[in-house]
A and B are shown apart, each in its own frame.
Chain A
Amino acid sequence: DAGVTQSPTHLIKTRGQQVTLRCSPKSGHDTVSWYQQALGQGPQFIFQYYEEEERQRGNFPDRFSGHQFPNYSSELNVNALLLGDSALYLCASSWGRNQPQHFGDGTRLSIL
């Protein structure tokens, strides 16, 4: 039973570019959440998707957007990349509300 898978593993971009990160949830899970983890800090909630809609959003600018597909997989898009967007981006999936979340290994995004 595959867990949460994220792609790519690592990514290098330059300032001003756009990036798309992908996440496949654990089998049977219908809710996907995205988190940003800067080096040496705890993860910060970006947003959560359920039934293909954004259900909750953290304190992140509109440059961060997402999508959930009918098969529950999800994408995180970041436009106009800034140096401060360099971080580990984690995807977590769960089934239903208030259930334990399962995390992927993340995508390490570096902005030059």
Chain B
Amino acid sequence: KQEVTQIPAALSVPEGENLVLNCSFTDSAIYNLQWFRQDPGKGLTSLLLIQSSQREQTSGRLNASLDKSSGRSTLYIAASQPGDSATYLCAASRDNAGNMLTFGGGTRLMVKP
């Protein structure tokens, strides 16, 4: 059974700081790994999707990496802004399991002006 863990559970940083969010998973037989953003009371917005054959994906100030062998993914946010404040969730999709996602508990990020 896949288990996904995110550390830290909460993070507070000053504006402009570069930061890294961590995601670990127990079963390396994943098809892809997604990072989502969730604003309070809202649904999930997909940020980046990394296929199992890829090592990283980049979108603007965001960079996500994937290391299947160690069961880890990281989301790097450069030059953080107050608008980045939200909960960030990672989710693993297992091969041959359609697109059922197993989520971590999330990291609640606060970027202070």
Residues of A with Cβ closer than 8 Å to B? Answer: 4, 31, 33, 35, 40-45, 48, 50, 55-56, 58, 88, 90, 92, 94, 97-106, 108
User: Considering only CB atoms and an 8 Å cut-off, how many residues of chain B contact the other chain?
Assistant: 27
CB contacts (< 8 Å) of B41 on chain A: these are: 88, 108
CA A55 to CA B42, docked complex, whole Å: 26
> Mind listing 26 A-B residue pairs with CB under 8 Å?
A31-B99, A33-B99, A35-B101, A41-B105, A42-B6, A42-B89, A42-B103, A42-B105, A43-B91, A44-B103, A45-B101, A48-B98, A55-B98, A56-B97, A90-B43, A98-B31, A98-B95, A98-B98, A99-B99, A100-B34, A100-B46, A101-B46, A103-B45, A103-B46, A105-B42, A106-B43
**Residues of A contacting B36 with CB < 8 Å?**
103
In the complex formed, the residue of B with least CB distance to A97 is: B98
Closest 8 A/B residue pairs (Cβ): A42-B103, A103-B44, A105-B43, A103-B43, A42-B105, A43-B103, A45-B100, A106-B43
Q: Which of B41, B49, B98, B106 has the most CB of A within 10 A?
A: B98
Q: A58-B100, A101-B99 are in contact. List 10 more A-B contacts (CB 8 A).
A: A41-B106, A42-B4, A42-B106, A45-B101, A92-B44, A92-B101, A98-B98, A99-B99, A100-B46, A100-B49
Pair count A-B, CB < 8 A: 71
Give CA–CA (A104, B102) in the complex, Å.
17
